[in-house]
Amino acid sequence: MISRSDRPAGVAEFRTLREITGLGAFSEEASAIALANTLHAVWLRDETGQLVAMGRLTGDGGCFAQITDVAVHPDRQRQGLGGEVMEGLMSWAETNLPEGCYLSLIADPGAEHLYRGFGFAERFGMARSV
């Protein structure tokens, strides 16, 4: 049984889920900072309490917000959990972010269909790492 949890991900499990889903693991320091600066998150856990899916909203919460870290454990993919994470994030965003707030995300190839279902459209964007 998978259910939504009020218990936020710890740094280690956040890093582990990112790594095993191919998102890459940031350093412990960077991950701790990121988690502390989350606007809203959806954490899905199994009956043992293991984190099996997650997604976060980050940003300033006024003009800009970004959906990040949407990840589903490889053993739990294709079960609708990504959609459940997105439903939770979008519900919170539509209720709590001000009108006109620019909501963005960067999708890995192959995940575009999930995000299109929530009204996201492809735009030109650029990114780089520090």
Instruction: Tell me the pLDDT tens digit for each residue of 54-90.
Output: 999 999 999 999 999 999 999 999 999 999 999 999 9
Which of 4-8, 81-85, 109-113 comes out lowest in average pLDDT? 109-113
Task: State residue 127's pLDDT score.
Answer: 72
d(CA 55, CA 67): 7
CATH 3.40.50.970 fits 3-116, yes or no: no
Per-residue DSSP letter, 79: S
Residue for token digits 């890093």? Answer: 15
φ/ψ of 44, rounded to 5, equals: -110, 130
Q: What is the mean pLDDT of the chain?
A: 93
What is the amino acid identity at position 92?
A: W
Residue 102, SS3 per DSSP: strand
Residue 41, SS3 per DSSP: strand
Instruction: Tell me the pLDDT tens digit for each residue of 14-31.
Output: 999 999 999 998 999 999
Task: State residue 75's pLDDT score.
Answer: 96
Q: Where are the domains of the chain?
A: 3-116
